[in-house]
Amino acid sequence: MSDQIAVLLPFPERFSPRNAGAISLCVRDATRASRYRNRIAIYGKPVEEPFAGFDYRPIQPRGRWLLGRNRGLAEGFWHAIRNDPPAMVEVHNRPRMFFHLAMRSSALPLALHLHNDPTKMDALRSPAQRMALARRAVAVYCVSDYIRARFLDGLDIRPDNVHVLHNGIERPWPVLPEKEKLIVFAGRIIPEKGAREFVEAVAAVLPRHPGWQAVMVGAQRPGQAGPVSEYEKTVYERFSGIGPAARFLGYQPHEVVMDLYARAAIAILPSIWDDPFPRAAVEALAAGCALITSERGGLAEMCRGRSITLADPNGDTIARELDRLLSDESALTELQRRAWEDFPFGIGAQTARQDGLRDALLQGPTAPALTA
Could you tell me if residue 175 is inside a domain? no
**pLDDT confidence of residue 225:** 73
| CA atoms of 364 and 175, how far apart (whole Å) | 42
**pLDDT confidence of residue 277:** 95
Q: Is 192 in the same domain as 122?
A: no
Q: Is 148 in the same domain as 288?
A: no
Give the strands of the sheet with 308-310, arranged side by side.
246-250, 213-217, 180-186, 264-269, 290-294, 308-310
HSE value, Cβ hemisphere, 13 Å, CA-based, for 351: 18
Provide the domain count of the chain. Answer: 2
Q: What is the pTM of this model?
A: 0.93
Could you tell me if residue 173 is inside a domain? no
Q: Is 147 in the same domain as 208?
A: no
Q: Is 107 in the same domain as 150?
A: yes
Q: Is 138 in the same domain as 186?
A: no
Q: Is 234 in the same domain as 249?
A: yes
pLDDT, mean of residues 292-301: 95
Backbone angles phi, psi at 364, to 5 degrees: 140, 100
Least confident of 76-90, 220-234, 279-293: 220-234
Could you tell me if residue 260 is inside a domain? yes
More confident: 369 or 274: 274
**pLDDT confidence of residue 233:** 92
* Helix ranges, the chain (H): 22-33, 64-67, 69-81, 95-104, 127-136, 145-152, 195-205, 230-240, 254-263, 279-286, 299-303, 315-327, 329-341, 347-362
DSSP string, 20-80: --HHHHHHHHHHHH-TTGGGEEEEES--SSPPTTS-EEE---SSHHHH-HHHHHHHHHHHH
CB 168 within 8 A of CB 350: yes
CB 29 within 8 A of CB 171: no
Least confident of 156-165, 215-224, 242-251: 215-224
Q: Is 161 in the same domain as 286?
A: no
| CA atoms of 142 and 146, how far apart (whole Å) | 8
pLDDT, mean of residues 26-53: 97
Residue type, 55: D
**pLDDT confidence of residue 367:** 46
CB 251 within 8 A of CB 219: yes
Q: Indicate the pLDDT class of residue 224, thresholds 50, 70 and 90.
A: confident
Q: What is the DSSP letter of 372?
A: -
HSE value, Cβ hemisphere, 13 Å, CA-based, for 282: 22
Could you tell me if residue 174 is inside a domain? no
Assess whether pLDDT exceeds 90 at residue 100: yes
| CA atoms of 174 and 187, how far apart (whole Å) | 25
Q: Could you tell me the residue range of the domain that residue 296 belongs to? A: 180-341
Could you tell me if residue 295 is inside a domain? yes
Could you tell me if residue 267 is inside a domain? yes
User: In sequence order, what are the residues at sequence separation of 6 or more whose Cβ sits closer than 8 angstroms to the Cβ of residue 155?
Assistant: 127, 130, 131, 134
Q: Is 89 in the same domain as 152?
A: yes
Q: Is 93 in the same domain as 132?
A: yes
For the segment 228-284, what is each residue's pLDDT rounded down to a tens digit?
889 999 999 999 999 999 999 999 999 999 999 999 999 999 999 999 999 999 999
Q: Work out the mean pLDDT of the chain and round it to a whole number.
A: 94
**pLDDT confidence of residue 221:** 82
Q: Is 198 in the same domain as 164?
A: no
pLDDT, mean of residues 288-293: 98
Q: Is 91 in the same domain as 209?
A: no
Assess whether pLDDT exceeds 60 at residue 335: yes
pLDDT, mean of residues 187-198: 96
Could you tell me if residue 124 is inside a domain? yes
| CA atoms of 178 and 200, how far apart (whole Å) | 27
| CA atoms of 268 and 318, how far apart (whole Å) | 8
CATH number of the domain within which 329 lies: 3.40.50.2000
Q: Is 263 in the same domain as 291?
A: yes
